[in-house]
Structure 1
Amino acid sequence: MLIALSQFNPIVGNIEYNQKKMLHDISEAKKAGARLIVFPELAVCGYPPEDLLLRPSFYQDCLNSLNELAKASEGIALVIGHPEEENNERFNAVTVFDQQTAIAHYRKLSLPNNEVFDEYRYFSPGGEACVFTIDGTAFGVNICEDIWHPEAADRAKLAGAEVLLVPNASPYHKDKEQERVEIAKERVKETGLALLYCNWVGGQDELVFDGGSFALNTEGELIAHSPLFEEHLLFIECAGNQIQSETKASWPSTDAALYQALVLGVRDYIQKNRFPGVLLGLSGGVDSGLTLAVAIDALGADKVHAVMMPSKYTADISVIDSREMIERVKCQYSELDIWPMYEQFVSTLSPEFEGRALDTTEENIQARVRGTLLMALSNKTGKLVLTTGNKSEMTTGYCTLYGDMAGGFAVLKDVSKMTVYRLCEYRNQTTIDGLANPIPERIITRPPSAELRPDQKDQDSLPPYEVLDAIMEAYVERNQSMADIIASGYQEADVVRVVKLLKINEYKRRQAPVGIRITPRGFGKDWRYPITNGYFA
C-alpha cells in the first residue's frame, strides 16, 4: 500500500483556499497510486487559528469543508485534521474518511500550553484511542504534542495499531527538525510501531513551519523525509508494520535553515496579507543589509524599495556601501536627506528645550524623522515597512519607539547580533536565484553604529555583542537566573546591566511589530512579562 504525507502551505482561516490545496494533493496522490493520504493538524483551517476558534460559525464552515473533502475519498482514505465543537466543548480532532464515509475519529489528548502554544484556551483533551484498518494494516492516530509524551502512543499500541500516523503543526526554531525526530524515535522504541509524521510548511505571523515530514520504521530508523521550507508530497510504501521509501531529501545546515526560515516568513507574511511589496530603511549597516538580502530573496527585487536617509552624522562610507549593495541587488532605491526636517523639529522645540543639554532626545528625533518618512511612503504605495532591528537591540532597548521600530514586520526580531553576522556570511557564500555575494564586505566588517551623533559606536552603550548575546540567550531563551549566569563565568556588572536593560524596556517590546521566531523563545507569543514589574533576579 502506498501512503502520501501532504506537507502543504495553508492560509489560516481561508477554508476554501485550504480545501483546494488539499484536493490538489488528493488528486496527485491518487495519480501516484496512493491508498491513504495524511494531512497536517487542523488542516481544514490552518494553525494556529487562535480566537477564530471562539466563533461558532467557524466550526460550521469547517464542517462544510470537511464534508466536501469527504467526497474525494473514493479509492483513497483521507486523514484530515479539523476543529470540532460538541456540547459546548471544543476539540482538536482528526476524522478518517474512506469511500466517502467517516470510518474513524480522534481527539487530541495532550494539549500544549507552553512556548507559543495556548491550546487549553480553546480545546478540551480527548482520550479514546483511534485505530482503523486499511487493506489489512491497522493505523493509529496521534496529533502533534501527543507524541512528546508516552501515553497517547501507548494507547494506540494497546488498541492494536501497527503504524502510527501523526498529523502536526510544529513550528520551527533552530535545530527543531532533529529534535522532532529524536522524540519520535523514543515513541517507536517504546511501542515498536512504525511512525509517519506529517507537518505544516509556511509562515503564519511570527511562526514559520518548516515541514520536514518523515517516516521511522519499527527499528526507529529514519527511512524518509521531506525537504524543509517547501511544499512536498512524501510517499511511503507500507505492508503491515513494514515501511520503506526512496525519498530522503537533504536538510540544510543550521545557518542555512535559519536563513530559509527568514525568507519563508517574509514571503508568506507579505503574500498572504496581499501587500504589493516592502520598504525598508537602508543604513549601510549589517542589520539593514541582511534584511534587504532576505527581502530580495523572499519577494524579488521588483517588490523591494530601499531608502537611504542620511544625516550629517552619516559616514560617507555608509552611503557608498548602500549604493554598492543596491548595484548588486538591483532593487528600487531612494536617498532622502533628513537633516532639514531634523533641524525644523529642533527649532520648533528649542523654546521647550532651553537650558537643557543635548542627549538621546535629539538622537531619537533623527530616528523618528526616518520612521515618519518610511511610513509616509508606505501609506502612499501600500507597501509594508520592514523594520531592521535585531534581538540584541530588542533585549536592551537599543532602538527608538516610532523611529527605527516603526513598521509592520520585524524580520530580525529574534535574530541575535552575532547570528546576523553569521547569516550575512552564509548569504554571501550562497547563490540564490542567480544572486551571489549581495552584501558588500565592509558592511559586515565595520564596527556597528546608529550614526546619530559624532563617532558613535554601539559598543559605547552596550557590552560586546558576543557577551550580550550569551547573557541574553541564557536569561531569555533558557530562563537562567542572574546568579546562574554569573556563576557560569560572566561578569556580574555585565549580567546586571543586560537584565536591567531587558526589564526597563518591556514597554518598547510590547509595542514592537510582529517578527519571525527562530529561537526556542522569542519576544512574541512566548514572552509575556509584565511591564510593571518589581522582580529582578
Structure 2
Amino acid sequence: MTHRFRLTLGQLNPTVGDLSGNAALARKTWEAGRDAGAQMVALPEMFLTGHDAERLHHNPAFQRDVLTHLKTLAEHCADGPALALGAPWVEGMQVYNAYLILQGGKIAQRVLQHSLAPRSHFDAGPISGPYMVNGLRIGSPIGADGWESDVAETQAETGAEFLLIPNAAPHLRGAMDRRLNHMVARVIETELPLIYLNMTGGREEQVFDGASFALNPGGRLALQLPAFDDAIAHVNLERGPEGWQIAAGSFAPQPDAPERDYRAMVVGLRDHVAKTGSTQVLIEQAEGNDAALATAIALDALGPENVRRIAIPEEGRVHSTLHDSLAALGAGVSTDAFAPSLRGMMLQVLADDAGALLITPQNKTVATMGPAPVPRDDFNPVKDLYQSEVQALCHWRNETHRDWMQGPADAALPVLELSPKDSALDGILRILLDDNGSVDDCVAAGYEGQTAEEVAAQIATRPSQNNRSAPGPRLTAVRAPFWKA
C-alpha cells in the first residue's frame, strides 16, 4: 500500500486556443515533476485549450486537434509520472469539461464536470468516481463541482482518499475568502485532504489569480502559493495512522485588497498586450486620475520602454514621444474642432501606425453617467473602478512599490481630489449597481432622493453600456440590475 505520494502542481498561465504552446508548457511542467520524483503532475481546469474558449470547443476541427495534442502529450509522458490536465472531451454529440489523466502512453482515465457554472457552454456529465494513480485513489471535482457538496461526497463515498480540485477562477473582490470557505466545507464533509489548483493569467475581462492552496483534514492550511504569479510546487502526501496528510509547505504572503485589484489590472493589461500580439501601448497624457493610474499600470506591466505617451496640450498642438513619422502626423493639428469620437479615431490611427495597443482609461462612474463609448480596438484597465476607487489607488501606488512592478519605485502620480458631489455619486452607484439596491435604499443610506432617481434613470437607459465599452479587467461580480430584478 502506498504511504507516500509526491504531486507536482503547475499554477500556470495558458493562452486560449494555443494548443501547441499550452502543450509545451504542460511538457515542461511534467519534466519538472519527473525530475523531482513526482508520481503525478497536475495542471488546472481547461489548461490545454485555455479557459473560456467556447467558440472553439464546438468546432469539429478544433476538437480533433485537441485529441491529437492529448495523444501526443500522453506518448511524451509515457515514462514517468502521470499527467493530469483539463481539456474539452467529446462523446457523441456531447462536449464536456473534462479532467484527463495521461499515463502509460495513453489517456488512461477521465473525469467529467457535473455541476455547471452559469452560462456554461458544456454539457453536464455524470458524477465521476475517483481515479487511481500509483495506488492512491483521487477524487477531482472540476471547477464548479468543488463549490457544491454532492460531487466531493460521492467521490469520498466511492473510495477517494484525497481531493484535487482543478479550477480556472478569476480575481473578484472577496473571491479568495469565498473559495477558502467552500473548500474548508468540502474537507469537513469528506474528512479528506484537499488541494485547490487555480490558473494564472489574464484574458480580456478575466484575470485568473492563482493563489492555490492545500488543506488537511479539519481545514488546516498546509500550503499557499502566490497570488497572480506562475508557480511549480512539489507537494508531499503521507499516510499515517489517521489517514493521508499533506506535508507542510511554504506559505506565500497574500496581497491585501487594494493590491489585489491593482495587480489584477497589471496582469490583465500585460497579458492582453502579449496575447493579442502587441508589445507596446500608446496612452494619451491627460489630466485626471484615470490617465495617471492607467499610465502607472502600463509602466508596471510592461516597463517604460514599452509605454508610449502622447501629449495634446491646451494650445492644441500634438507633442509625442513616438517616432518622427507619428510626430509629423500629429504636428499642427488643432483638437478644438474635433468631437470626442474623432479625437479617439486620431489616437487609434497613431497607435495602429506605431503597432501599439491604444489605452483609453475611463472609470466606471464616467462610463455609466457619460456618453456611450465609440467601439475601437483599445483597452481600458480602469474600467471596473469608480472614480473614488481610482483616486484611492493613485494614492496607494504613490506609497507602494513591489518587486513585480516595472515602473519607477518613487511614483508621484498627480492626484485630483474629488468633490463631495462626486463622492456621493459613487455611493449611489455602488448601491444601485454593486448591491442591486433601489432608490429607497439610497435615501435610507443618507443620499438625496432626487439625485438618486436621476442616477437610476440614467442607468436604466444604458443597460448594455458595459458590453459596448473597451475590454478591461473585471474586479467585481456581475449582478442583475435592479430594473431587471
Q: Please, what TM-score do these two structures have when normalized by structure 1? A: 0.81
Task: Give matches, 1:105-504, under 5 Å.
Answer: 105-113=110-118, 118-119=119-120, 122-240=121-239, 241-311=244-314, 340-343=334-337, 365=339, 367-397=340-370, 399=371, 401-402=373-374, 408-431=378-401, 432-433=405-406, 435-440=408-413, 443-446=414-417, 464-504=421-461
Alignment partners' CA distance in 1, 2:47 and 2:352: 35
- Paired residues of 1:311 and 1:337 also in contact (CA < 8 A): no
Task: Give matches, 1:26-65, under 5 Å.
Answer: 26-65=30-69
SS in 2 for 1:177: helix
Among 70, 81, 85, the alignment partner of 1:80 is 85
SS in 2 for 1:222: strand
Alignment partners' CA distance in 2, 1:407 and 1:97: 40
Deviations 1:339-396 (A, max 9, x none): 73534x6xxxxxxxxxxxxxxxxxxx2x334313211202211211111101111221
Q: Which residue of 1 aligns with 2:471?
A: 514
Task: State the 1:480 CA deviation.
Answer: 2.3
Alignment partners' CA distance in 1, 2:254 and 2:450: 41
Alignment partners' CA distance in 1, 2:430 and 2:78: 48
The AA in structure 1 aligned to 2:107 is A
Task: State the 1:482 CA deviation.
Answer: 3.0
Task: State the 1:337 CA deviation.
Answer: 7.9
Alignment partners' CA distance in 1, 2:16 and 2:194: 27
Question: Per the alignment, do residues 60 and 242 of structure 1 end up closer, same or farther by CA in structure 2, a change over 3 Å counting?
Answer: same
SS in 1 for 2:336: helix
The AA in structure 2 aligned to 1:437 is D
The AA in structure 2 aligned to 1:125 is A
Alignment partners' CA distance in 2, 1:407 and 1:54: 26
> Which moves more between the two structures, 181-190 or 371-380?
371-380
SS in 2 for 1:469: helix
Task: State the 1:246 CA deviation.
Answer: 2.0
Alignment partners' CA distance in 2, 1:376 and 1:136: 61
- Paired residues of 1:171 and 1:207 also in contact (CA < 8 A): yes
Alignment partners' CA distance in 2, 1:493 and 1:284: 31
The AA in structure 1 aligned to 2:300 is D
Alignment partners' CA distance in 2, 1:514 and 1:409: 5
Question: Per the alignment, do residues 492 and 313 of structure 1 end up closer, same or farther by CA in structure 2, a change over 3 Å counting?
Answer: farther
- Paired residues of 1:213 and 1:234 also in contact (CA < 8 A): no
Alignment partners' CA distance in 1, 2:235 and 2:346: 54
Task: State the 1:163 CA deviation.
Answer: 0.5
Deviations 1:497-518 (A, max 9, x none): 2222222234654431111111
Alignment partners' CA distance in 2, 1:140 and 1:536: 40
SS in 1 for 2:334: helix
The AA in structure 1 aligned to 2:344 is G
Alignment partners' CA distance in 1, 2:422 and 2:417: 14
Deviations 1:176-209 (A, max 9, x none): 2222111100111111111111111000111100
> Which moves more between the two structures, 134-143 or 36-45?
134-143
Uncovered stretches (5+) of structure 1, i.e. residues with no partner: 327-332, 346-364, 448-458
The AA in structure 2 aligned to 1:157 is A
- Paired residues of 2:11 and 2:43 also in contact (CA < 8 A): yes
Task: State the 1:422 CA deviation.
Answer: 1.8
- Paired residues of 2:15 and 2:21 also in contact (CA < 8 A): yes
Question: Per the alignment, do residues 338 and 282 of structure 1 end up closer, same or farther by CA in structure 2, a change over 3 Å counting?
Answer: farther
- Paired residues of 2:283 and 2:308 also in contact (CA < 8 A): yes
SS in 2 for 1:376: helix
- Paired residues of 1:282 and 1:307 also in contact (CA < 8 A): yes
Q: Aligned residues: percent identity?
A: 29
Alignment partners' CA distance in 1, 2:410 and 2:463: 37
Alignment partners' CA distance in 2, 1:194 and 1:507: 44
Alignment partners' CA distance in 2, 1:503 and 1:158: 50
The AA in structure 2 aligned to 1:41 is E
Alignment partners' CA distance in 1, 2:327 and 2:393: 26
The answer to whether the aligner puts 1:91 opposite 2:64 as a matched pair is no
Alignment partners' CA distance in 1, 2:8 and 2:59: 32
Task: State the 1:406 CA deviation.
Answer: 5.2
Q: Which residue of 2 aligns with 1:329?
A: none
Alignment partners' CA distance in 1, 2:100 and 2:341: 52
Task: State the 1:140 CA deviation.
Answer: 0.8
Question: Per the alignment, do residues 224 and 513 of structure 1 end up closer, same or farther by CA in structure 2, a change over 3 Å counting?
Answer: same
Alignment partners' CA distance in 1, 2:441 and 2:248: 47
- Paired residues of 1:35 and 1:77 also in contact (CA < 8 A): yes
Q: Which residue of 2 aligns with 1:16?
A: 20
Alignment partners' CA distance in 1, 2:167 and 2:378: 29
Task: State the 1:400 CA deviation.
Answer: 5.9
- Paired residues of 1:139 and 1:163 also in contact (CA < 8 A): yes
Task: State the 1:36 CA deviation.
Answer: 1.1
Deviations 1:108-155 (A, max 9, x none): 011011xxxx21xx2111113221233332211110111111111111
Deviations 1:437-470 (A, max 9, x none): 3234xx21455xxxxxxxxxxx6xxx73332223
- Paired residues of 2:304 and 2:406 also in contact (CA < 8 A): no
- Paired residues of 1:105 and 1:130 also in contact (CA < 8 A): no
User: Alpha carbon RMSD of aligned pairs, Å?
Assistant: 2.7
Alignment partners' CA distance in 1, 2:432 and 2:283: 30
- Paired residues of 1:163 and 1:194 also in contact (CA < 8 A): yes
The AA in structure 2 aligned to 1:306 is R
- Paired residues of 2:303 and 2:407 also in contact (CA < 8 A): no
Q: Which residue of 2 aligns with 1:454?
A: none
The AA in structure 1 aligned to 2:383 is K
The AA in structure 1 aligned to 2:83 is L
Task: State the 1:279 CA deviation.
Answer: 0.8
Deviations 1:277-331 (A, max 9, x none): 11111212111000001001111111111112133699xxxx9xx99xx9xxxxx
> Which moves more between the two structures, 263-272 or 28-37?
28-37
